[in-house]
Structure 1
């Protein structure tokens, strides 16, 4: 059986945001066993799985991404939408737009310290659309 829903996450400021709870609240009842695929329908934000315990991890990740892919690099050609636009596209390619996660006993089967993150790379990215496909 395959279920698919689309929902919108509220707008977040630039940063790495723990959204596991928000995702779970939007999902239908999960099957006893299966897989869920999450797709973010944007090219300037990403989804990631990472540590959910220490908030310093989120801050450090933002710093790492901003250092790896700086704004206003003189070699950027795509600059019409502001200094955060091209770097946000590059960061999105690095992190990725999908997550595929196991479902066991009706719950996401994540590690003890794992959480789902919205990586918002724009200063004002706005609400973000997610497509969730549940396969059982």
Structure 2
């Protein structure tokens, strides 16, 4: 029996995220909405943040205490106030670079039947590591079957 397959397509978008300083900004709904808008069916979604002092995470979306504990743990790993060589942009800059290096700048998420294959308690977050608000850009790329 011959199996019919749809040709692969792709879609790109840049998501602009306004952060408020250190914290996790949930982008799950915005990304799901974009997948629906482009008609994504089955494939792979790749996310890439275009910054070196912010990052991407898939993390629990139910208990906000997880976010608090995660941010505190990252602060212990890369504290402000240490004598870093790179300090031109302020005392929060080098710790932000370290935190971004310890987390992720890109994520790959399977998409099936138009929905991200995330676990029950998983959400997609931009993590701001700098002290002040920033505008962050996340590039979205879907490769797979596209439908109407």
Q: Structure 1 length as normaliser, TM-score?
A: 0.92
Cα distance between partner residues in 2 of 1:90 and 1:125: 18
1:124 maps to 2:132: yes
> Where in structure 2 are there 5+ consecutive unaligned residues?
1-8
Match of 1:97 among 97, 105, 114: 105
Pairing of 1:1-136 with structure 2 (within 5 A): 1-27=9-35, 28-74=37-83, 76-136=84-144
Residue 25 to residue 32, structure 1, CA distance change in 2 (3 Å):
closer
User: How far 1:40 moved relative to its partner?
Assistant: 0.5
Cα distance between partner residues in 2 of 1:66 and 1:121: 9
> Which of these two proteins has the greater Rg computed from alpha carbons?
2
Q: Structure 2 length as normaliser, TM-score?
A: 0.85
Residue 42 to residue 125, structure 1, CA distance change in 2 (3 Å):
farther
Taking only aligned residues, the RMSD between alpha carbons, in angstroms, comes to: 1.4
